[in-house]
Structure 1
């Protein structure tokens, strides 16, 4: 990664879930195109290494060890970024968890974890940063709020009931926010990826889902995090008056 494409120079971005996978790849891409980037996740040491890589490549970034389900911590992060870089004008709201399981196993803690992170975490980031997005738009900046949903928001998958429900929430939230915030010159978009080769698969413990993923890997070339990052880069590089509401990005062989 090097600062070879300057089309995001002057922009200030925050990426949640930035310690691995899609979030990390996107943070590196945005920094490589000239944006100042705040990387947010719970694993501060991992973020520090990513920031070091970005800095050595000529980019500018900071690491913020934050749990996005903690409103006070997210609010503090918003103030830190503002003090360091100025108003945030690009949010990639990406932190999430995927914990499939049979509903009759009644794993309430796993249900709550997914809802707290995939739904409430998304809302907490919006709550903390929306004043900065509005201010940046009023100053004439190009402004983006991008939420990570999933193809799972569109289809029905056995054993993924809670996860798919949380992603359906994110997708419909994004559609509604686009109507509301577009009037304020804030672009709102969502990314709905299919299967991506990230550590999310490593969090799966339910055998039925593990078997399904293992079989899928034999027949489908999974997306890489960098593939999704490129889609984000495409979204935020559009002219200020252009809002791509939704990008569904799938492995070629994945049907649904």
Structure 2
């Protein structure tokens, strides 16, 4: 039986799935949703990190389930979805957060990096959406609301040198989300695209392009305070706890001092 929502735990009774949950925004979001009362399935490739996250959530009185999975493997994603249903019931809150950022000048023809970004940021995202959407639709009909939250980036809107492929994948995420909102909204599934500016996560650790690294370093040296993963997690918690009639379609979240 689902526990009724309360002001302190507005997501009680809900079943959340968070991808890319082994660090950064995904990790913080899983902890935030659990603190708000949701049962949370955390998905990522690093099993040990997920186990540690589940333990922390449990110590704070929450319930979480760790599922080690590569979202580019659609069969593995389907298996993960089946396990969520078996353990928690159908998911009614999905946060698509898994992604990678690998900027490079287009003339370098870093085709392996291009493919990696397309595979994870687009194909992996679509695998998760395709597998979990039936659960979201079913849960929305039974419970009155479900949420699909896709993690995009300010790069979907703005121009950053050497970020063309990454920015293209995030533009896909934002535009896809608009279309899915029209398609799924009448079925009581809210769709939101979040577009953060610079967030201090492991994402920057994968960057090797000197120009991008210099840009990131300059932003730090200028004294600009980056967003934290907890900032984004708080926004996810806020928008998923809103009354079912309210859908924040697209949210841009910027460091106060970041110009673009």
User: By the TM > 0.5 criterion, same fold?
Assistant: yes
Are 1:4 and 1:32, in contact at CA under 8 Å, matched by a contact in 2?
A: no
Any stretches of 5+ residues in structure 1 without a counterpart?
none
What's the counterpart of residue 187 of structure 2?
A: 184
Deviation at 1:104, TM superposition (A): 0.9
Deviation at 1:223, TM superposition (A): 0.2
CA–CA distance in structure 2, aligned partners of residues 203 and 141 of structure 1: 40
What's the counterpart of residue 132 of structure 2?
A: 129
3-state DSSP class of the match of 1:19? coil
The worse-fitting range, judged by mean Cα deviation, of 137-146 and 100-109 is 137-146
3-state DSSP class of the match of 2:104? coil
Figure out how many residues of one structure are paired with residues of the other and give that number.
254
- Listed one character per residue, the Cα deviations across residues 38-60 of structure 1 (whole Å, up to 9, x for unaligned) are 00000011000000000011000
2:28 pairs with one of 25, 28, 32? 25
Deviation at 1:218, TM superposition (A): 1.5
CA–CA distance in structure 1, aligned partners of residues 140 and 35 of structure 2: 23
3-state DSSP class of the match of 2:143? coil
1:232 pairs with one of 222, 233, 236? 236
CA RMSD, Structure 1 to Structure 2 (Å):
1.1
Any stretches of 5+ residues in structure 2 without a counterpart?
1-5
- Listed one character per residue, the Cα deviations across residues 136-174 of structure 1 (whole Å, up to 9, x for unaligned) are 111133200000000000011110000000000000000
Q: Please tell me whether residue 251 in structure 1 is matched to residue 248 in structure 2.
A: no
2:74 pairs with one of 66, 71, 75? 71
Alignment of 1:1-256 (within 5 A): 5-219=8-222, 220-256=224-260
3-state DSSP class of the match of 2:43? strand
Are 1:194 and 1:249, in contact at CA under 8 Å, matched by a contact in 2?
A: yes
CA–CA distance in structure 1, aligned partners of residues 17 and 125 of structure 2: 13
CA–CA distance in structure 1, aligned partners of residues 8 and 25 of structure 2: 20
Are 1:89 and 1:141, in contact at CA under 8 Å, matched by a contact in 2?
A: no
The worse-fitting range, judged by mean Cα deviation, of 204-213 and 136-145 is 136-145
3-state DSSP class of the match of 1:192? strand
3-state DSSP class of the match of 1:147? strand
